[in-house]
Structure 1
Amino acid sequence: MRLAVFHDYFDEIGGAEITLLYLAAGLNATIYTTNIDRQKINQLGFKKVNIKSIGSVPSIRHLKQLVTQLRFSFLKIRGFDRYVFGGPYSIYALKKHKPNLWFCFSPLRGLYDLRYFKKGFFEILKQPIKEIQIYFDKKAVKNIQKIICNSQTTMNRIKEYYNLDSKVIYSPVDTTEFNYEKYKNYWLSVSRIDPYKRIELIISAFSKIPDERLVVVGGTVPEHDRYLRILKKNSTKNVSFTGPIYDRKRLADLYAHCKGLITTAKDEDFGKTPIEAMASGKPVIAPNEGGYKETVVDGVTGKLIDDINSNKLAKAIKEVGKNPESYKSACLKQAKKFDTKEFIKKIKKEIL
């Protein structure tokens, strides 16, 4: 079977892009997208994946999204037996590409569950525009024939906002890339630098526990440069920033030697970094919400915090940090449930 995968862009690499790269590699699919950062993709170990650009798009956030949407609206690719869609802008090509399947990582959060997350006068002015975007988004979704999603959390959103059914296949992690080593004196945060990731909670928590160290891994887009500057300005001496790391061996080494992972995203869709940490035998501290509830076992592979704030987070860090090695066995076992082999086996049944 000839399989094509459509996705918004591959110059920003996160969990969704890595999932689709694993899918393409495992099913010998061709990816069609807009912008491509081949260097990042190669560093992640996907040199052999065939990726083609349908045309470049601007780097300015809102213009980038609009032009991506337009490019896919006019796209017509033939010669494939099935079409898999990933990003929320690629689905504007659904109507002309059947049979199709949408691997949904979440309905657009800025239009739905996080629509009012950002505050300010400018955000109020944007609400009528968002109503128009919602109309066209729901219109595009009507052309979907089948939906697979990455978590129960996403499945619930799809039902709430689109009134459509979907099936969960968890996003994968290649657990063989990670290994356990005796911990050094630092905790790890790995995520895109974005306000909804609530990294300021972690920064604030570490200001209360100066004997503990934090390493923050992650990059941002120009839209969130100010947020990154504020994080750095408010950081104490026990916090350091590495920027984005696409070298998987370097990232695995950081996981291997950390005390544990701390992640604080608001209602995370799924969250691959907890799996990567557990595959390294390291505990995870996270909010008791979203996809974290599906991956982290409270008290067994880490700590889930109700109504998270920086004080509760600092307390959890002290608690888990007393004996982080005690979580090793349970973490390694839990991570295996999300391995790439399981993912490919399940996705093959749905696609081929």
Structure 2
Amino acid sequence: MNTLVLHDYLTQRGGAERVALLMAQDLGGGAITTSSFRPAETFPEFGALDVHEILPVVPARTPSRRLAMAPLAALSFGAHRARADVVLCSSSGWSHWTSTPSPTVVYCHTPPRWFWAPQDFFHGHAAPVRAAASRAVAVGRSLDRSRARRATTYVANSSVVRRRIQRAYGIDAEVVHPPVSFAVDGPVEPCPGLEPGFVLTIARDRSYKNVATSRRVFGAGGLGRLVVVGDGEPQAGAGDLVVNAGRVTDAQLRWLYRSCRAVLALSHEDFGLTPVEGHAFGKPTIALRAGGYLDTCEEGVNAVFTDDLEDASVRRAVLSLDTAGLQEATVLRAAERFSRAAFSGAMSRVLAEAARSG
């Protein structure tokens, strides 16, 4: 079966990009179509794939590039024509706008935040930008809903996203959780200036990731050291309570997971791969009781929770880890259901069913 894989854009390193990479490798014959591809800004493994880029002009990398990219990507996918035995769209944006007569499966990381969670996407932008965006949301939602309803099958990456799909599109989606998509037992490279025993958080600088809260709580002292992987330049001073590791390689990420005592996950995530990755290394999660974490984290098994983002609540959750009695073996067993084989098998079944129905 010829499966054509599409993904919104390959200009960052995130959970959706890891899933798209796996889809292209295991389901798409080593090929993927995207609006824009910037090899230096995403995972290096994409360099080994046949990447078809449909947007010829990409804005310079600035704080406002995501905003500028939105209409360009929408237009590029809206004008794109695709044909295969089945088309698989990895989407939190525009790839599901592609026109095709072929059976189409949309693996939805979340309905586009531009339309369905504008308070998240436009947070921090200037008032004129927010005002213009609010006027465009109603039109955009109508267009997005009509494009989504052309799909043969919708698949959600978590229970919370399944509910969002139902609210946004009126579509009942199956849930197929993403897997740990890089080899746990691969090469390991220590991060300079760090000693084991820290708490690890992995998040790009987006408002809904709540990195500022993580930094503030640990910066107040008494909780040990926090290491932040994401945007920004690396820095690791000997006395720093909060250390920015910047972007890291997979080999360094393995060392960070192996060397941390827990993963801190305070984002409002659609699914959130970092707890699952941490669990695969036997490391528990300190999680916000919300979003995709409710599918992957279980209190007393592999996680402790904070019910809100108040500094005192987060602090109590971190301190409770020492008395929670979470066992590495239990955490590892809980991670087994998020294997790559389980994901690819489930998606192969969904694609086959869509192809037959088409």
Q: TM-score range by the shorter chain?
A: 0.7 to 0.9
Q: Does 1:127 align with 2:146?
A: no
Question: In 1, distance between residues paired with 2:97 and 2:24?
Answer: 20
Q: Runs ≥4 in structure 1, deviation > 4 angstroms?
A: 39-42, 178-181
Q: Distance in 2 between matches of 1:46 and 1:340?
A: 17
State the TM-score, normalized to the length of structure 2. Answer: 0.85
Label 1:193 to 1:54 Cα distance change in 2 as closer, same or farther (>3 A): same
- 139 and 284 in structure 1: CA distance in 2 versus 1, 3 angstrom threshold: same
Q: Indicate yes or no: 2:158 matched with 1:154.
A: no
CA spacing shift, 1:48–1:185, aligned 2, 3 Å: same
Q: Does 1:265 align with 2:270?
A: no
**Cα pair 1:259 1:321 within 8 Å, conserved:** no
**2:245 is the counterpart of 1:242:** yes
Matched, 1:96 2:108: no
1:170 is aligned to 177
* Cross-structure match for 1:300: 301
Question: Cα offset for 1:41?
Answer: 5.4
TM-score, normalization: structure 1?
Answer: 0.86
Q: Answer yes or no: is the 8 Å Cα contact 1:210–1:238 preserved in 2.
A: no
Given the superposition, is the C-alpha separation of residues 42 and 130 from structure 1 closer, same or farther in structure 2, using an over 3 Å criterion? Answer: closer
Q: 2:66 aligns with which of 61, 67, 73?
A: 61
Q: Show the 5 A alignment for 1:208-219.
A: 208-210=220-222, 212-219=224-231
Q: Which amino acid aligns with 1:136?
A: L
Aligned-residue RMSD, C-alpha: 2.6
Instruction: Say if 1:341 and 1:216 are closer, same or farther in 2 by CA, change over 3 A.
Output: same
Conserved 8 A contact 2:262-2:285: yes
CA contact (8 A) 1:41 1:47 kept: no
1:125 Cα offset (Å): 4.2
Code of the aligned partner of 1:110: W
1:139 to 117, 122, 146: 146
The alpha-carbon deviation at position 114 of structure 1 amounts to 4.8
Please identify, of 341-350 and 301-310, the stretch whose mean Cα deviation from structure 2 is larger. Answer: 301-310
- Identity over aligned pairs, percent: 24
Distance across 2 between alignment mates of 1:187 and 1:278: 14
Q: Name stretches of at least 5 consecutive residues in structure 1 with no aligned partner.
A: 221-227
Q: Per the alignment, do residues 28 and 211 of structure 1 end up closer, same or farther by CA in structure 2, a change over 3 Å counting?
A: closer
Distance 1:28 1:7, change over 3 A: closer
Q: Relative contact order (alpha carbons < 8 A, sep ≥ 6): 1 or 2 greater?
A: 1
Contiguous gaps of at least 5 residues in structure 2: 60-64, 353-358
Aligned residues: 332
User: 1:351 deviation in Å?
Assistant: 0.8
Say yes or no: does 1:290 pair with 2:291.
yes
Shift of 1:216: 0.4
Q: In the alignment, is the contact (CA less than 8 A) between 2:18 and 2:181 conserved in 1?
A: no
Structure 1: which amino acid aligns with 2:298?
Answer: V
Matched-pair contact (CA < 8 Å) for 1:83–1:98:
yes
TM-aligned CA distance change 1:211 to 1:108, over 3 Å? closer
The one-letter code sitting in structure 2 at the alignment partner of 1:109 is R
Aligned residue identity for 1:184: P
1-structure distance, mates of 2:318, 2:149? 45
TM-aligned CA distance change 1:320 to 1:130, over 3 Å: same
- Name the structure 2 match of 1:31: 32
Query: What is the DSSP-based 3-state SS (H/G/I as helix, E as strand, rest coil) of the residue aligned with 1:170?
Result: coil
CA contact (8 A) 1:8 1:89 kept: yes
2:212 maps to: 200
